[in-house]
Structure 1
């Protein structure tokens, strides 16, 4: 497998991307007892504020990530997943999403992950995300940790 990662915008309901979403959901369920699907149900395909991206290496979908609007200027990162650790797939997806967020009009990105998900918390800190107070439906959930990053 070469390290040539290509990122493209896709429709999360497209049959070709469903396997990576299913793999992410199964992975989350095995590790944390929840698959994260409920937080991805309000997707709007014809709204430019919603961005779903896939990563491919040698025509294999190896990762995904998304942004959805929280407000006109704040986007929420969702469904981040890398099939193969250590290949900079997540970093490449997140950089793509951040650039797309800027051109879409977002000034800030926020996200939630589980406190137990040490890989994710370290990853976001390494990408210059800062811990922020839990927001929205995560506000009173001690198992959640939220991060934010200014895109300015």
Structure 2
């Protein structure tokens, strides 16, 4: 039996801090960096910033976010699924893509570590293509960036 995954838009506040902390700890253990520095400019009252959590039976099991890079380009951040192979990440990303499209974004971009083979394979399966490293990731050889047109 497949469990129902519900996605809720929320703010990355204390209520969901546990899932964000779990993501950060997971990243730190695997790659030596928790990724928190790239999620410090959150604007709560700006509709171009979207943070979501995934729940199964009232348990928060994942999260994801979009923030603006420009009026038409959004950046996917803080993607995390607590349990593998339950379609949590796929459900979160599809929801974010839908919200992004409705918010006027024409493209989504993101960065992950080359070593994070699970993430790179996941994004490729979701039709994201490797793009040149952008922004603060330009001169970081450990980074790999992806993009997807929403048009």
TM-score with structure 2 setting the length? 0.99
Q: Distance in 2 between matches of 1:141 and 1:3?
A: 39
Partner of 1:103: 102
> Once the 2 structures are TM-superposed, how far is the Cα of residue 2 of structure 1 from its aligned partner?
5.4
Residues 3-152 of structure 1: pairs in structure 2 closer than 5 A: 3-13=3-13, 15-152=14-151
Contact map agreement 1:2 1:57 (CA 8 A) in 2: no
Contact map agreement 1:68 1:78 (CA 8 A) in 2: yes
CA RMSD of aligned residues (A): 0.9
Secondary structure in structure 2 of the residue aligned to 1:146: strand
Deviations 1:31-76 (CA, angstroms, capped at 9, x unpaired): 0000000000000000000000000000000000000000000000
Secondary structure in structure 2 of the residue aligned to 1:24: helix
Unaligned runs of 5+ in 1: none
* Aligned positions, number: 151
Q: Distance in 2 between matches of 1:61 and 1:2?
A: 17
> Once the 2 structures are TM-superposed, how far is the Cα of residue 16 of structure 1 from its aligned partner?
1.8
Unaligned runs of 5+ in 2: none
TM-score with structure 1 setting the length? 0.98
